[in-house]
Chain A
Amino acid sequence: MGGKTGKHTPIFFLFLLPVMLAFTIIIVVPLIMGVYYSFTDWNAVPGTPINWVGLENYFVMFSDVSFLHSFLVTVAFSLVCILLINFIAFMFALLVTAKLKFAGVYRAGFFLPNLIGGIVLGYIWFFIFNNAITAIGSTVGSDFLAMSFLGNRFTSLFAMIIVTTWQMAGYIMMIYVAAIQSVPASLLEAAQIDGAKYHQRLRYILMPLIAPAFTITLFLTLVNSFRMFDVNFALTAGGPSGLFMGQALWTTELLALNIFNTAHRFNDFAQGQARAIIFFIALMTISLIQVYFNKRKEIEM
């Protein structure tokens, strides 16, 4: 008899086989190859010899200004995104959980951009920033709006933040909505009868009770912003070009795009692979730290 046992029945292997096969071919083997290639001069051309170069790719990467710049821009981008997305999503969640007539419609509307892929959104917003907003700017006579956001390194980064926020806020809102709805209404009513003001009820009752939701939303926004690729690719493509520490580079090139471009633009696959490894390690580290801190905070509350 099989079942809840400490033994491996034939079914155990049979049922695991298909997914293990896919997982091994698609993730395990390429991951091991990837780590190895990052220490070689691999150029992705079949038949050319692959030579071991030790840590050279990593030395080159860390002495490359464009990589450091990409890293810093990605960190800045992620931090602003986390704050902005969560703030807006939480405000939206409070709004659509208030007793409104068309709450369902607003909810669906705020969620809508999340259904659409970053590539399509990127192209749409390219038009909005380059044509629509500039037209509004010249109509109302605002020089700031009349110049495309995508022409300047700072406003261009901000444009990416706007699009990412627009895309993700509705999704994060839904998570807050689910959390808020799980809080017993009687708790908030009792506090109201005791004379607690709205902001007090929010700060001392609602927010502590939905703390686990904050762990999830912060984690999701962090990971998604940090590995942002699609919007970056379609909206700014890394542009405009500019100077950093005396070197010309693409000023809004986030890490994921930097990895892609390093391999494709310069045909330097080993270098791109080494960057991807560092990207992976950074992503893992940030995630672990964040989960650790949030777990601790939940217990304190």
Chain B
Amino acid sequence: MSIQQRKNIGLEILAVVLFLAYLSPFVIIFINAAKPTLQVIADPLALPENPSVFFDNVWRILNDRTVAYGSSFMTSVIVTVVSVALIVLTTSMAAWVLVRTKTKTSSFIFMMFVGAIIVPFQVVMFPLISWLATIERTLGLSGTPFRLLGNYPGIVLSYMGFGASLSIFLYHGFIKGIPFELEEAATIDGCSRAKTFFSIIFPILKPITITVMILNGMWIWNDFLLPRMVLRGGRHDIQTLPIAVAGFVGQYVRQWDLILTTTILAMVPIIIVFLFLQKHIIKGMVDGSIK
């Protein structure tokens, strides 16, 4: 065996050990989600005596009113999908006209969006909530299915606003590289400008659209502070999964078997998505950070 081969085996072993150590917290979570509460407290390192307890725990959480897993999951899906779809649509349109229009107004608007990338949610959250409530009252939406706070319209609108900067920036960079002649040819063929965008440009944007979808989707799915503020947490308000988990932990202090089961149920959807879309997700997140 050559020195090189031996080195490679050594590296492989090192990698395996690091890999297992890195993921060991997940193992501990699974072990303890399969035990009754008292056993978790007594010996968190022991293997479960009766692994089927895990399914009992899952069943209890699925039927728990605080977590309301089914509806929280659906709320998370709806909020994420609708917000991402609207972000993709509105920011690609905006970025396209910003690239193709060479005026001072156009570059000012673009610079405004780029500048806003750094704005943290904290600096707008308090006024945002009170101002959304004012809009709600003024338009007479309070108490209707179209109310903003604690409901879909407000949170989707919030994500559209907060997702705009980075998405416009990414689309802008990509569209700059598309030759204008392509659009000219279409215009000569009698395509209207709007039709040119939707039938010719938008399909070309696919690679960057995937990046925009991944970056925004991951952020929105896992986000906590924004839904905590905008959805308020009232009895008639919708809740996303992270909010449901936090609510459950607040209520079931130290019932670790159930809390850990809840965290597992909250993690499972995104991990399944990752297994299928691994390449896209990694590429999207890396590309999004580099540009």
Contact = CB atoms under 8 A, between A and B. Distances in A.
A5 B101 contact: yes
B98 A16 contact: yes
A178 B225 CA distance: 31
Given A115-B270, A124-B263, A131-B256, A19 B94 contact: yes
Given A117-B224, A119-B224, A123-B263, A16 B11 contact: no
A27 B162 contact: yes
Interface string A187-217: 0000000000000000000000000010010
Interface stretch (A51-59, A143-151, A255-263, A293-301): A255-263
B180 A175 contact: no
Interface in A70-126: 92, 95-96, 98-103, 105-120, 123-125
B97 A15 contact: yes
Given A7-B103, A98-B11, A109-B22, A259 B282 contact: no
B128 A256 contact: no
B176 to A, nearest CB: 11
B118 A283 contact: yes
B77 interface: no
Contacts of A171: 285, 289
B130 A46 contact: yes
A2 B247 CA distance: 53
B94 A16 contact: yes
Given A23-B164, A26-B162, A105-B19, A118 B222 contact: yes
B3 interface: no
B82 interface: no
B22 A110 contact: yes
- Place the interface of chain B in its size category: 35 or more
B76 to A, nearest CB: 11
Contact of B127 (A34, A135, A227): A34
Interface string B75-92: 000000000001001110
B218 A115 contact: yes
A30 B96 contact: no
A190 to B, nearest CB: 18
Contacts of B15: 95-96, 100, 102-103, 106
Contacts of A44: 126, 129-130
Contacts of B40: 131
A174 B222 contact: no
A31 B93 contact: no
A20 B94 contact: yes
Contacts of A27: 116, 119, 124, 161-162, 164
Interface stretch (B25-33, B47-55, B63-71): B25-33
A184 interface: no
B19 A135 contact: no
A19 B263 contact: no
B32 A127 contact: yes
A256 B270 contact: no
A26 B103 CA distance: 26
Contacts of A29: 127, 131
A3 B105 contact: no
A7 B281 CA distance: 39
Nearest to B265: A120
A65 interface: no
A234 B266 CA distance: 15
Nearest to B113: A23
Nearest to A107: B282
A119 B246 contact: yes
A68 interface: no
Contacts of A213: 290
Given A12-B101, A26-B161, A135 B90 contact: no
Contacts of B23: 109, 112
Contact of A100 (B12, B41, B160, B161): B12
Contacts of B16: 102, 106
A281 to B, nearest CB: 9
Contacts of B44: 127, 131-132, 135
A174 B286 CA distance: 7
Contacts of B157: 22, 25-26
Given A34-B124, A273-B126, A117 B274 contact: no
B119 A31 contact: yes
A44 B128 CA distance: 11
B256 A220 contact: no
Given A31-B123, A131-B40, 15 more contacts: A4-B100, A6-B101, A15-B194, A15-B197, A20-B94, A25-B161, A26-B128, A99-B8, A103-B15, A136-B45, A166-B25, A216-B290, A220-B289, A229-B224, A276-B125
Interface of A: 1-9, 11-12, 14-16, 18-20, 22-23, 25-27, 29-31, 33-34, 37, 44, 46, 92, 95-96, 98-103, 105-120, 123-125, 127-128, 131-132, 135-136, 139, 166, 171, 174-175, 178, 213, 216, 220, 223, 227, 229-230, 233-234, 256, 259-260, 263, 269, 272-273, 276-277, 279-280, 283-284, 287
